[in-house]
A and B are shown apart, each in its own frame.
Chain A
């Protein structure tokens, strides 16, 4: 008969051990909290400027427009056959600088929706050449990024470029 009391006794001990450890964690403490959240959207659209070309006799006057939503730097380069001579006479390229690698870079930041000053390209063709000919002007832009103090960094023409998919 005595043996039969052991299971009851052990069950009681188990119940006590189950309940008591939880008593401490269930004790109430004063706590408080507050949450807040927010953010901003990156709006970077439009990567290539729109190039307006105007013919002035046998020469070209180009103006690049930033049609994107982000401020950018712009540079252009003219291509023609070896028989042609391309010149950029003094006084006709204010705001542009020859970077020595074939490109002419606009020295200012072109804001979204803004445009560069005109760049005049004087084209000389050999006298023996008749008929139509092509001088192609290409343009590039790179977004303006900033230093921590908010000052713009110089143009980085390799910025963020990834391989074609």
Chain B
């Protein structure tokens, strides 16, 4: 007891104990005030609508997408292809998003040989796709080849709207009925087993700030008129 009394009479020890007690009291007060801050927060709610762009390719009015979906309804069950005959084939685009957009379609037509390899000799033009007139689509001649057709829809496409058909029909030229006489004198059809292919890619880009957006997304210079009409070239 005497030792404790003597110890407390030491100024240094007394000062240290006083400082420690003040520190403990102060820190405990801070923790309390922290808890009070989180407890009194109020709840606020906010609603944000995120813009969404969407596009659908329609073949004869039906949405298609993926391999083997195009031309699947061209022939009936067991029906044989008739060379020279026109088959109904309409392609159009629908705006499936919630913002207005400009659209284009790139078509590829080509031949596969009997082994499934792409044939470079047979003219893709024998796959005769009849493009529609006055349907709002324009052909980009500078980007179009025998195999590739690039078409732009000249008007902004509102949400849910469908473009006019960019083509009316497809026809395989009867020049394909070429016969070749073999060494043993037999005549055979040269292109038996060949397959004609059609690929379509539909692209959409926002109508807002369209000129820059199209340049950025498609790498194409276009002009946008005051009425929103699109023309190719800067």
Interface residues of A (CB under 8 A from B): 24-25, 27, 29-45, 47-48, 69-71, 112, 143-150, 153, 159-165
Contact = CB atoms under 8 A, between A and B. Distances in A.
Q: Tell me whether chain A's interface is mostly helix, strand or loop, or mixed.
A: loop
Nearest to B188: A47
B81 A45 contact: no
Given A146-B174, A148-B171, A165 B181 contact: yes
Given A145-B84, A159-B174, 18 more contacts: A27-B216, A31-B205, A31-B206, A32-B55, A32-B205, A33-B203, A34-B201, A35-B200, A36-B59, A38-B67, A38-B70, A39-B195, A39-B196, A40-B75, A145-B83, A146-B174, A161-B178, A164-B182
B71 interface: yes
Q: Chain B contact residues (Cβ within 8 angstroms of A): what range?
A: 35 or more
B234 interface: no
Interface of B: 51, 53-57, 59, 64-72, 74-75, 80-86, 97, 99, 101, 112, 169, 171-172, 174-183, 186-206, 209, 212-213, 216-217
Sorted nearest first, the 9 A-B pairs with minimum C-beta distance are A38-B70, A145-B174, A39-B197, A44-B189, A146-B85, A29-B213, A160-B178, A30-B206, A164-B181
Contact of B177 (A30, A31, A160, A164): A160
